[in-house]
Structure 1
Amino acid sequence: MNGATQYSKQFIAGKWQEGSSQQTIVNRNPFTGDIIQTIVCASVDDVNQAYEAAKSVQKDWEATTPAHKQDILNRVIDGMIRRRDEIVKWLVEEGGSTLAKANIEWQATIYTLREAATFPYRVSGKILPSNVPGRENRVYRSAKGVVAVIGPWNFPLVLAMRSIAPAIATGNTVVVKPASETPVTAGLLIASLFEEAGLPAGVLNVVVGKGSEIGDPFVSHPIPSLISFTGSTEVGRHVAEIAGRYLKDVALELGGNNVLIVLDDAHIERAAEAAAVGKFLHQGQICMALNRIIVDDSIYDDFLDLFLHKVGQLGVGDPWSESTMIGPLINHEQVTRIERDVEQSVRMGAHCVLKGSVEGNVMHPTVLTEVTNDMPVAQNEIFGPVAPILRAKDESEAITIANDSMYGLSGSVFSSSLERAVHVAKQIQTGMIHVNDQSVNEEAHVAFGGEKSSGVGRFGGEWALDKFTTVKWVSVLQNYAEYPFFAKG
């Protein structure tokens, strides 16, 4: 059983089974509108079954050797390589990825798995000195237990795997609720890869369902101790509220309003190229995508001319075309939302110097100038192919504009002076920022996460290792303690 047939079922306790909800999810190709599959949704009972399955095998899985865990992850990598064409096809057809973006995501997922495959040998403890004579302080590190993962639709494979692989590598078991727009690439395909690699039944479970039916119960269920969520800030706040009520740990990677600051001494053409890529890769549907391009007033017009020239070279349309940079948005609701923000911003004084047409779910690039921070396209996370360009009279004002946002995920700074750029970068309130590059960057061994309303916690490398494990202090006293309350004898 392969393809859309297999991926129309839930994956619970090592078995592919029909959901028991009365609701269905219709999975559509966002470019053609064609129905890929119809999935009978998971019910609350299915969610409970998945959590119970994960709990029942967690201690056994944690007790397996590091070599065995690593071997499973390496076999998943082998499967990723062998099934590359299938994976790319699903990313294009289900999520509207262009070929370029799909291949970038496939490679990033490989790197994520390779980093996670080192974790079984990196779960280490410590022995610390004590101020009590004859005492030894031991700190043991162990798995959190059962981890809940809520996967996104924009980079579904790598962003779901970013939690799944480290969690499994450190001895946890996992239940995944993939985004309804990408149930295969954010969950079911991943389950297939791990099943093929020989992962024991119950270690990884995937439940596909409507947020209105299973969303809150998925988070509030008593079994999972950590909720990992990637998605919008609005939904992330709701997840955090429920998790906080039950004192569950969270790993939240949320929205962004990322800036590219172009200082007066920047290499303008290189900055324009980076701006075009950082803004329009995957149609701007990336949490790290550039949302505001802040340009020093002295070079504003020159930058704009070059930027418009670069944008004009980007292919738009069919995601299967190798020349396409900008494919479809995930659904037409996103088109409507973005058009509304653009129209309101223009009414507030923004100049539309490039107005992109709309064909189905495909939006051609739109460029707005004279944008100010109070306009919707500057305040909101656009998540689409609209580039707002803001003026700054100097470096200080650029920093002020950049920080005038509730978000703080990624960003970039362009300057011919690296130290000046670093000086500016350190003043931007954000979890990640890149000098002389665009904002969409991720490396599996480096801390990934945001500040303010862009999230809680960090993914990647040793930071993921910390997030998916817990520590326990065990003190060992060589001789019995003498307490002053009792008579000797």
Structure 2
Amino acid sequence: MVDGQDKPLYSYKLYIAGKDVDGEGWVYTVSSRSLLEDVFTSVSLKRALEQNDHDEEAAAHPYVVGRCAVAGDSGIDLATESAAAAAAAWAAVPLERRMRVGSRFREELARREEELIGLLVAEGHPVKLARWELSCLTQVYSEESLDWYRQRMHTEFRHGGRRLIVRRQPDGVVAFNPPQNAPAPSAALSVLALMAGNAVVVRAPRSIALSTMFVVRELIAPLLVEAGAPPGVLNAVCSNPGQTVNRWLESPLIHDIFYIGGSQEGLRLQEKCVARGKKPILELAGNDGIIVWKDADVVKAAEAICESFYGSGQICMVPNYVVVHPEAAEALIAEVAAQAAAVRPGYPEDEEVLLSPVRRSERFFALLRQALDLGGELVTGGRRIELDGTPSDTGVFLEPTVVRVNGLTGARQYDIVREETFFPLLPIVVPEPETDDELLDSLIDFVNANQYGLRNSLWSRSSSVVDAFVQRVVNGGLLKVNDSHIGFLPYLPSHGGTGLTGGVFGEANYPMLKTSHIQGVSIAHDVSPRDAVFGS
């Protein structure tokens, strides 16, 4: 509630050392629906409030959802110092007590699910996409997953009169830099770092801060109070990305920087972190592939392929290219085209809507033009569209677009095949005819040669084909077979990948383990040191 207003309004100051702290001004959130209904009024309201946050009439407008205080250098540094001051005391708390924060977070997420979905929708996430995002977090914090993390964090053995312990110790202070496309679900990963025994600082992106601050302030912070955590274990600031990351890099108090964003920026950050003795934890771009064999269930495979259009493709883990066996190509392409045609734009609260507005669509058309110039065939889509799906030169949505690429050999000449596009733009590659044995080798080589490495999928009923992929595909952090490409599952690594997805240290990982390090302990009883030297 903003002072003097009758209308409830989400309002978050900086959260530092367990207290709400004033910032240096405010950023306001207006509903994404309002930007589609009346962009001039929405932008004017936002600008007026950020220039004069005492404008009570503007704050009471139904388009206005909430506000977040903005941190300057002093606020960013204070959050870091508060985390550093609390880190040692929190690390000393027993693992089991810290683990309960994860269980409680899952419970609170379920209890306040609709409220959080409402904020995500207000920020522009189609409600169907928002529900998927929260379902992913439910798996990350499922009891099965938490039990698995716990086993990795502390395991004991008996050997030759010794108690041997393999355990993971917290890194110290972990700084989280969530992306603009999904900041709140990404900020929720900070609970994993907290369970590992770290203190954390979360940056809420200025352009889309509200849901992130809600997750930190409303869901996580009360659980830490409940667990008896010292103030300062959790801190959150809304701030500029470059300013914040640079201060984190220069601070000797920050140990890990958890960065989610583009590959070029992330790899540059990796170099700076290593030069300063910090651990870079990178979740960068993905260029995920789906391979469809000749015996695949075409309808279900097409369902997984059309996950490419969730949020207009502006998600790193959606499928980015498809390679289909020539014998299944015509049936698959027809089915994908039919399902893609049913994907539509609309207001984000509509349960049937999957598409989000796309900014800077010039790049989309440049990529499409290059693909067609190289010989690609437009199957469906390729136009701007309005809210109701009508083609328009000024539409803020893009049609789900499918391009057929003939030939595997030169497929990576196409930027839409080689790179992550972040658009609803999907190439389907049809290889040259080969024997099945030769084609299987070619497809596995093609997947393994991808510069990126987030997820890969296979659709086939053949046990020998499935076995070949399972045994020989080494690229990527996750391999899904005859399943949703984007769905999360318990036990399996939730994040990370190889190549341009995870940097030079890239691998599939659990963020709880990635923000900690292994320590071996031997506690001997009645052992001769002289004998022990020789392994007795």
The verdict on a shared fold, with TM-score over 0.5 as the criterion, is yes
Whether 1:12 and 2:16 are equivalent positions in the alignment is yes
Alignment equivalent of 1:364, drawn from 399, 404, 412: 399
Secondary structure of 2:88's aligned partner: helix
Which residue does 2:238 correspond to in 1?
A: 208
Alpha-carbon distance, 1:244 to partner: 0.5
Alpha-carbon distance, 1:50 to partner: 0.5
Q: How does 1:288-367 map to 2 (within 5 A)?
A: 288-329=317-358, 332-333=359-360, 335-354=361-380, 355-359=382-386, 360-367=395-402
Whether the 8 Å CA contact 1:140–1:472 is kept in 2: the answer is yes
More divergent stretch after superposition (445-454 vs 178-187): 178-187
Which residue does 1:190 correspond to in 2?
A: 216
Which residue does 1:487 correspond to in 2?
A: none
Whether the 8 Å CA contact 1:112–1:444 is kept in 2: the answer is yes
Whether 1:433 and 2:484 are equivalent positions in the alignment is no
Which residue does 2:392 correspond to in 1?
A: none
Count of paired positions = 469
Paired with 1:31 and 1:398, the residues of 2 have a C-alpha distance of: 43
Paired with 1:459 and 1:198, the residues of 2 have a C-alpha distance of: 28
Paired with 2:492 and 2:378, the residues of 1 have a C-alpha distance of: 38
Paired with 1:419 and 1:191, the residues of 2 have a C-alpha distance of: 50
Whether the 8 Å CA contact 1:109–1:157 is kept in 2: the answer is no
Which letter maps to 1:17?
V
Alpha-carbon distance, 1:108 to partner: 2.4
Secondary structure of 1:197's aligned partner: helix
Paired with 2:97 and 2:513, the residues of 1 have a C-alpha distance of: 21
Which residue does 1:388 correspond to in 2?
A: 427
CA RMSD across the alignment: 3.0
TM-score, structure 2 as length reference: 0.79
Which residue does 1:168 correspond to in 2?
A: 194
1:226-275 deviation digits (Å, cap 9, x = unpaired): 22222221221122112111222232121111111111222222222221
Q: Assess, with a 3 A threshold, how the Cα gap between structure 1 residues 353 and 67 changes in structure 2: closer, same or farther.
A: closer
Which residue does 1:405 correspond to in 2?
A: 450
TM-score, structure 1 as length reference: 0.86
Which residue does 1:80 correspond to in 2?
A: 109
Identity %: 24
Whether the 8 Å CA contact 2:174–2:257 is kept in 1: the answer is yes
Paired with 1:432 and 1:97, the residues of 2 have a C-alpha distance of: 25
Paired with 1:122 and 1:404, the residues of 2 have a C-alpha distance of: 31
Alignment equivalent of 1:111, drawn from 139, 142, 145: 139
1:142-186 deviation digits (Å, cap 9, x = unpaired): 222111111123333333222x11111122111112334432233
More divergent stretch after superposition (255-264 vs 441-450): 441-450
Secondary structure of 2:517's aligned partner: strand
Gap regions ≥5 residues in structure 1: 483-489
Paired with 2:344 and 2:80, the residues of 1 have a C-alpha distance of: 45
Q: Assess, with a 3 A threshold, how the Cα gap between structure 1 residues 10 and 454 changes in structure 2: closer, same or farther.
A: same
More divergent stretch after superposition (60-69 vs 208-217): 60-69
Whether the 8 Å CA contact 2:152–2:167 is kept in 1: the answer is no
Which letter maps to 1:18?
D
Secondary structure of 1:265's aligned partner: coil
Alpha-carbon distance, 1:474 to partner: 4.9
Secondary structure of 1:207's aligned partner: strand
Q: Assess, with a 3 A threshold, how the Cα gap between structure 1 residues 4 and 217 changes in structure 2: closer, same or farther.
A: farther
Paired with 1:270 and 1:49, the residues of 2 have a C-alpha distance of: 51
Secondary structure of 1:373's aligned partner: helix
Paired with 2:340 and 2:299, the residues of 1 have a C-alpha distance of: 12
Which residue does 2:302 correspond to in 1?
A: 272
Whether 1:443 and 2:448 are equivalent positions in the alignment is no
Paired with 1:450 and 1:121, the residues of 2 have a C-alpha distance of: 22
Whether the 8 Å CA contact 1:257–1:409 is kept in 2: the answer is yes
Gap regions ≥5 residues in structure 2: 3-7, 36-41, 47-64, 387-394, 433-438, 531-536
Secondary structure of 1:260's aligned partner: strand
Whether the 8 Å CA contact 1:254–1:453 is kept in 2: the answer is yes
Whether 1:379 and 2:408 are equivalent positions in the alignment is no
Alignment equivalent of 1:41, drawn from 46, 66, 70: 70
Q: Assess, with a 3 A threshold, how the Cα gap between structure 1 residues 445 and 475 changes in structure 2: closer, same or farther.
A: closer
Secondary structure of 1:205's aligned partner: strand
Whether the 8 Å CA contact 1:220–1:243 is kept in 2: the answer is no
Alpha-carbon distance, 1:197 to partner: 3.0
Alpha-carbon distance, 1:283 to partner: 1.8
Q: How does 1:49-60 map to 2 (within 5 A)?
A: 49-60=78-89
Secondary structure of 1:369's aligned partner: strand
Whether the 8 Å CA contact 1:43–1:209 is kept in 2: the answer is yes
Alignment equivalent of 2:175, drawn from 142, 148, 167: 148
Q: How does 1:116-155 map to 2 (within 5 A)?
A: 118=147, 123-126=153-156, 129=159, 139=166, 141-155=168-182
Alpha-carbon distance, 1:314 to partner: 2.2
Alignment equivalent of 2:90, drawn from 57, 61, 72: 61
Alpha-carbon distance, 1:451 to partner: 1.1
Alpha-carbon distance, 1:225 to partner: 1.6
Alpha-carbon distance, 1:129 to partner: 4.9
Alpha-carbon distance, 1:306 to partner: 1.4
Which letter maps to 1:422?
D
Q: Assess, with a 3 A threshold, how the Cα gap between structure 1 residues 265 and 14 changes in structure 2: closer, same or farther.
A: same
Which residue does 2:56 correspond to in 1?
A: none
Q: Assess, with a 3 A threshold, how the Cα gap between structure 1 residues 459 and 405 changes in structure 2: closer, same or farther.
A: closer
Whether the 8 Å CA contact 2:498–2:507 is kept in 1: the answer is no
Alpha-carbon distance, 1:422 to partner: 3.4
Q: Assess, with a 3 A threshold, how the Cα gap between structure 1 residues 74 and 465 changes in structure 2: closer, same or farther.
A: closer
Whether the 8 Å CA contact 1:458–1:464 is kept in 2: the answer is no
Which letter maps to 1:437?
D
Alpha-carbon distance, 1:405 to partner: 2.7
Paired with 1:208 and 1:100, the residues of 2 have a C-alpha distance of: 27
Whether the 8 Å CA contact 1:177–1:206 is kept in 2: the answer is yes
Whether the 8 Å CA contact 2:154–2:165 is kept in 1: the answer is no
